[in-house]
Amino acid sequence: MAQANAVESAPTEVQQEKLAKVYGIKGVPLLSALGSLRFPQSFPYDFMHLIWENLIPNLVLFWSGRYKGMDEGQPYVLNPDIWQVIGATSAEATKTMPSSFGVAIPNPAKDCSYFTSLTWSVWSLFIAPTILQNRFPEERYYKHFCSLVGILNLCLQFEISKKDIDDIESGIRKWVVDYEWCVPPPPFVSEKSNADTIHASSLYYQHNPEQLPACPLTIHALLHIPDQIRWMGPCWATWAFPIKRQCGYFQCSIQSRRNLYVNMD
């Protein structure tokens, strides 16, 4: 808000435009006049879009060697034959899954465009931890993913204690550090004792400028989840699943492009 006020109070249009480019803010938002809202606390990242429409699909693109053309020879890329088996097994697994756990999912090795937020959540929480075991060229990628699943399960609890939020915060911080930053191995550590830890390099960014596309905003946004829970309550209290389902209901009700509002009414 201080930056927004600085933009609006700039003495000239040239200075105002310059500050707007520096801050990425054009001025004070109209909604700031409402005393019931606080910036940015009242506008958390949507958990549904952040996790199941960005983070998980991006990880799948990494593993299947389709992330922005930068995956050749990378240790996180699964063998194509293994990925086909994983996809087929994923689709088969949901045939015996109780419906209360979620909907059936498509084959992620064929076409991920059929996946929705709901199917990604079912796959990542209930199926992937089992079928990805012993599949990666390097085990640390599997352990890194499983730690993410543990964090997500904590976030999705119906009730969350202060200790849970602290655990989420420390878990996310470590997950992002392992994903992004290069951490040198500690001195005088034997190869055997270091086998189960992530030390030698980051997993995806690898501290390599050529890997910079591996660090979208959605990775940094994970660090804000604990504070958002402190401000707004559990993630399910603010996520977009209800409104997305309602929009789907509206979309199905539209039978005429010409009179779409009449249809929705």
**Cβ atoms of 204 and 214 closer than 8 Å:** yes
Number of domains in the chain: 2
Residue 119 · residue 139 · CB < 8 Å = no
Structural domain contains residue 127: yes
Same-domain pairing of 29 and 94: no
Does this model's pTM top 0.85? My answer is no
- Domain ranges, residue 173: 47-253
Kindly state the tokens that stand for 101.
């756990």
Same domain, 18 and 111: no
pLDDT in single tens digits along all 265 residues of the chain:
889 999 999 999 999 999 999 998 888 888 888 989 888 888 889 999 999 999 999 999 999 999 998 888 889 999 999 999 999 999 998 888 888 877 888 999 988 888 999 999 999 999 999 999 999 999 999 999 999 999 999 999 999 999 999 999 999 999 999 998 755 544 544 444 444 444 446 789 887 888 889 999 999 999 999 999 999 899 999 899 998 888 888 888 888 878 878 877 8
107 and 13 within one domain = no
Q: Is residue 42 assigned to a domain?
A: no
Q: In this structure, what are the phi and psi dihedrals at residue 136, rounded to the nearest 5 degrees?
A: -80, 150
What 3-state class would DSSP assign to 234?
coil
Identify residue 137 by its one-letter amino acid code. P
| 91 plus 212 within the same structural domain | yes
**Ramachandran bin of 28, using left for φ above 0, alpha for ψ from -120 to 50, beta for the remaining angles:** beta
Both tokens assigned to 209:
């400028």
Alpha carbon distance 233, 99 (integer Å): 28
Task: Examine the domain organization and report whether 22 and 146 are in the same domain.
Answer: no
Amino acid 228: pLDDT: 93
**Do 80 and 22 have their domain in common?**
no
In a domain, 41, yes or no: no
Task: Give me the count of residues in the chain.
Answer: 265
Please indicate, yes or no, if residue 264 is contained in any of the structural domains.
no
**Nearest alpha-carbon partner for 241 in 100, 65, 116:** 116
Q: Write out the two tokens for 148.
A: 């993410």
81 in the same domain as 136: yes
